[in-house]
Amino acid sequence: MKSFVSVPQNSDFPIQNLPYGVFSTKADSSRHIGVAIGDQILNLAEIANLFDGPQLKAHQDVFKQSTLNAFMALPRPAWLEARARIQQLLSEDCAVLRDNAHLRSRALVAQSDATMHLPAQIGDYTDFYSSIHHATNVGIMFRGKENALMPNWKWLPVGYHGRASSIVVSGTDLKRPVGQTKAPDAEVPSFGPSKLMDFELEMAFFVGGPENELGTRVPIEKAEDRIFGVVLMNDWSARDIQAWEYVPLGPFLAKSFATTVSPWVVSIEALRPYFVENPVQDPVPPAYLHHDDPFTLDINLAVSIRPEGDAVDHIVCKTNFKHLYWTLKQQLAHHTVNGCNLRAGDLLGSGTVSGPEEGAYGSMLELSWRGAKEVPVGSEIRKFLKDGDEVNLSGVCEKNGVRIGFGECRGKVLPADI
């Protein structure tokens, strides 16, 4: 399938992708829902009346909102109908947009003229810890090889409740956090800027569909109906603050200062060709977490760092999302097994994605092995992030000549306010 809209070679956004986002322009500061196609954005508010199928005819107003929440809250058949209609309207064989110059001029916006915003109003944010390689590496560093994984790790998807208010969209700079830290040889903690600033390469999915009633679980057979789409996520971390504060309740200020997400939400339907077999789970998890259908995504991921004054992004990590031990379905089913209600726009993070080799580690904590090794970044070296460093995450799926991507997830570290 091809689009009448020109799609540059190696674009993240061919007609097979069609991710959703929220944008504004200098000419129009109002926020609109759009779909990325090549280097353009299709403004869905301008074509809302064309969604005239049985699922969406009575819900055209969802495309005229300033966030995706109302659209996300519709049931999955509505998402499928919207995707099919957008693909049809953008295809080279459909004249509705292609031959209507006036409508096309209103509906298509150059991405270079747009400012991207958070795709949804995020009510709640949960972050999991689902990469066995990352969990093992961190366990070895802090507890030794014999106790690398905690006893519960292979029985359930470990997670914690994060801070939704400090989630920001790609391109937002962030200040180095300050807080309490304690050196190993110090008698008392000290206060000041974090010295061990880190990125975490993650992906996250937005919850969609009608809310499950409080006290009602989502069975794993129905979990896909609640997974709207996927974004890149950088779970920025202050490792020295984390080391002092995390016992006994887990990370707090070390994480809550900022989390960056990419602006384009790639639908599960767009990702369907890239599902591969799930990892072997030993021991076999409890029945409420068991599913046989492939729901592990083959997504090539990379992290680059651009030091201040440099013009080039330098790749420091390459890995793959398929290294995740727990699937998205398992994460969602576990989250609701106690009756927790999930709402459209909630965000669930994967946890740091690391592969089995050193170059596939998804954090500076692992790449530098807790500061014991130097990580080349162009002509410079790093153990952790310095002020002025700009970090970018990227993700690409490729199969049978079709390439879809997630755009950028970029953020720059600014000096702390002291």
Binding positions for Ca(2+) are 127, 200, 202, 235
- Candidate list 32, 133, 134, 323, residue with the active-site label: 134
Tokens of 172: 């937002």
**Full 3-state SS string of 180-242:** EECCCCCCCCEEEECCCEECEEEEEEEECCCCCCCCCCCCHHHHHHHEEEEEEEECCEEHHHH
Binding site per annotation, positions for Mg(2+): 235, 255, 259
Sign of CA dihedral 326, 233, 159, 241: positive
Helix (H, G, I), strand (E, B) or coil at 155: coil
Known binding residues are 127, 200, 202, 235, 255, 259
Half-sphere exposure of 324 (CA within 13 A, CB side): 33
Coil, helix or strand for 98? helix
Q: How many CB atoms lie within 10 A of CB 274?
A: 20
Helix, coil or strand: residue 187: coil
Instruction: Tell me the C-alpha distance between 418 and 413, whole Å.
Output: 15
The yes-or-no answer on residue 134 being catalytic is: yes
Alpha-carbon distance values, 353 to 58, 132, 369 (Å): 41, 9, 16
Rounded to an integer, what is the distance from CA 334 to the centroid of its chain?
19
The DSSP H or E segment spanning 105 is helix 101-107
Determine the Cα–Cα distance for residues 181 and 333; give it in Å rounded to an integer.
36
Catalytic residues: 134
